[in-house]
């Protein structure tokens, strides 16, 4: 019974994320528990897989179109930022994005202003530039977050120091390594299997 209720909470949390009621997994899970009157917290992975299933049901064929579009837009942006070793990460890399999902890209540079200039040159509209950090990392690692608009898509770019390019990051949702896709890897993907998902077994 508890197992079924756990799945119910994961599904309810997925619905909250899909409908835009919640943006963070922890907030969605807490709200789902409150709505269902239970105290059973599923993992982020369980919610993500439920969300993937829900998107498939709700968006159907439309999902294929916007997933390919987002990956093509990502490739255009990454090509413009090729000097900064860009990698596509996040839900567009995973293949479990919603139509409203941002395109997440990480680049490596000690000069965020140069990244902003490169974006502007290709017609991207830079919306925000802010310094971010994770106080739970020892030592705290800071980065610059650039949000931009390009071809009707929101691009979320993390600018990290070049020294961090070889560091391995663990995904907070799936628990595996965040490998992402380079420009060449994304080009090959769009040619051979543009709808491929990258989910741990």
Quick one: pLDDT band at residue 66, thresholds 50, 70, 90? very high
Q: What residue segments make up the domains of the chain, in order of their start?
A: 2-59, 61-192
Query: Over 90: is that where the pLDDT of 138 sits?
Result: no
> 61-192 in CATH: which number?
3.30.460.10
Query: Over 60: is that where the pLDDT of 171 sits?
Result: yes
Query: Over 50: is that where the pLDDT of 151 sits?
Result: yes
Query: Over 70: is that where the pLDDT of 140 sits?
Result: no
Query: Over 90: is that where the pLDDT of 23 sits?
Result: no
Query: pTM of the full predicted structure?
Result: 0.90
The pLDDT value recorded for residue 3 is 54
The pLDDT value recorded for residue 1 is 39
The pLDDT value recorded for residue 168 is 87
Query: Over 50: is that where the pLDDT of 22 sits?
Result: yes
Query: Over 50: is that where the pLDDT of 41 sits?
Result: yes
Q: What is the 3-state secondary structure (H, E, C) of the chain?
A: CHHHHHHHHHHHHHHHHHCCCCCCHHHHHHHHHHHHCCCCCCCHHHHHHHHHHHHHHHHCHHHHHHHHHHHHHHHHHHHHCHHHCCEEEHHHHHCCCCCCCCEEEEEECCCHHHHHHHHHHCCCEEEEEEEEEECCCCCCEEEEEEEEEECCEEEEEEEECHHHCCCCCECCCCCCECCCECHHHHHHHHHHCCCCCCCCC
């Amino acid at each position: 019974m508890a197992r079924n209720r756990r799945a119910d909470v994961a599904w309810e949390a997925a619905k909250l994320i899909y409908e835009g009621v919640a943006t963070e997994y922890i907030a969605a899970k807490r709200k789902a528990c409150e709505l269902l009157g239970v105290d059973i917290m599923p993992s982020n992975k369980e919610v993500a897989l439920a969300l993937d299933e829900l998107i498939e049901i709700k968006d159907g064929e439309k999902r294929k179109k916007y997933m390919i579009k987002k990956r093509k837009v990502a490739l255009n942006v990454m090509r413009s930022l090729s000097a900064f070793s860009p990698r596509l990460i996040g839900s567009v890399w995973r293949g479990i994005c919603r139509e409203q999902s941002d395109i997440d890209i990480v680049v490596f540079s000690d000069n965020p202003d140069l990244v902003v200039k490169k974006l502007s040159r290709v017609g991207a509209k830079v919306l925000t530039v802010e310094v971010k950090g994770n106080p739970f990392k020892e030592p705290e690692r800071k980065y610059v977050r650039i949000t931009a608009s390009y071809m009707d898509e929101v691009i979320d770019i993390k600018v990290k120091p070049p020294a961090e390019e070889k560091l391995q990051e663990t995904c907070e949702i799936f628990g595996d390594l965040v490998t992402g896709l380079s420009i060449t890897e994304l080009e090959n993907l769009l040619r051979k299997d543009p709808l491929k998902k990258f989910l741990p077994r």
